[in-house]
Amino acid sequence: MLNEIDLSRADLNLLVLFEAVFDEAHVGRAADRLRLSPSAVSHGLGRLRRLLNDPVFLKTPRGVVPSDRARALAPLVADILQRVRGVVAHAAPFDPASSTRRMTIGAPDGVSAVFLQPLLADLAERAPGIAIGIRQLLPAPEEAVDRAWRGAFADLESGTLDIAVIPAAEAPLRFERRTLYEEDFVLVMRPGHPFASAPGVDQYCASQHLVVSLSGDPHGFVDDVLAREGLSRRVALTVPNFMFACAIVPDTGLLCAVPRRFAARYAPRFGLAIHDAPLPLGHFRLNAFVPKPALMDAGTLWLLDRLGEVGARIGTTAA
């Protein structure tokens, strides 16, 4: 958009002005948004036209419309300003009480649904302006459990995620790990399911099952547990997340393995019965991961500490 010669006479405020006029399609409304006079906005548009050698915005009886070149430049300008705002936000001293940053946490929904409510309660008290985005994470089919979460680590390194909370025990050395709490799996089913009256391995294997799988792959970690015992089951349905599973199970004869603390919080809301599995389905730790360079960002470190506090409280509460 700007060559090296142009940069010597460019003003970043002109991009802010461009964004406001493009969004508002009106000089007066853009002036109000920027807290400038309409004449100041008009003067800025004149400078922008000379800089770009283009009309940029054309007057109409109802306001202004962007030129073809302005339409093409709009997403580029939005990206530039987003990056600049990110740099400024990270450079400014972090004050949770006044910060309006938005940070993204990735986790399986069976995990985020457990830590999110207490985390939001903490933020409401300590950092009411901070916004949180939750990204759904589920493992990729891999024989090595930790490799199943390689996508989460890639998202952390790309900056798509600020923190990932996943049941991975290990990570490359370039990541910091914080253990939040420990978890295992229980079964949820409709009340009166035949398994409840004969909760043994035979009845379990004879039942039909629902598996939570983002990819739709019906083979889950439970199948690996059964295979080690020379057993198998029939997977009748896959769905992409645990909450969807809880919405489906009450009207079916399906069994579904879900995290214990998730089941304790949400199974009653869906009218589901909870039972222990007839054989251990695995015990794991929920760990929060961030790239080590991100620990230099006071906001990310602050949020990681809050997750650690929330996880400690969850870990001491009976599921």
Residue 97 counted as domain residue: no
Q: Are 197 and 128 within one domain?
A: no
Give whichever of 32-41, 44-53, 73-82, 228-237 has the largest mean pLDDT.
228-237
Count of domains for the chain: 3
Coil, helix or strand at residue 129: coil
Q: Is residue 2 pLDDT above 70, yes or no?
A: no
Pairing of strands 102-107, 131-136: parallel
Q: Is residue 164 pLDDT above 90, yes or no?
A: yes
Q: Are 123 and 72 within one domain?
A: no
Q: Is residue 133 pLDDT above 70, yes or no?
A: yes
CA-to-CA distance for 245 and 220, rounded, in angstroms? 14
CA-to-CA distance for 55 and 66, rounded, in angstroms? 8
Q: Are 250 and 297 within one domain?
A: no
Q: Is residue 113 pLDDT above 90, yes or no?
A: yes
Q: What is the CATH number of the domain that holds 119?
A: 3.40.190.10
Q: Are 153 and 30 within one domain?
A: no
CA-to-CA distance for 55 and 175, rounded, in angstroms? 49
Q: Are 143 and 229 within one domain?
A: no
Can you tell me the mean pLDDT for 16-31? 91
Residue 122 counted as domain residue: yes
Give the domain range for residue 292.
102-182+284-315
Q: Are 257 and 296 within one domain?
A: no
Six-digit token string for 278: 């007839």
Residue 96 counted as domain residue: no
Q: Which of 88-102, 150-164, 249-263 has the lowest mean pLDDT?
A: 88-102
pTM of the model: 0.69
Q: Are 174 and 247 within one domain?
A: no
Residue 289 counted as domain residue: yes
Q: Are 233 and 304 within one domain?
A: no
pLDDT tens column, 215-258: 888 888 899 889 999 999 999 999 999 999 999 999 999 999 99
Q: What is the pLDDT of residue 162?
A: 95
pLDDT band per the 50, 70, 90 thresholds, residue 122: very high
Q: What is the pLDDT of residue 3?
A: 47
Q: What is the pLDDT of residue 54?
A: 92
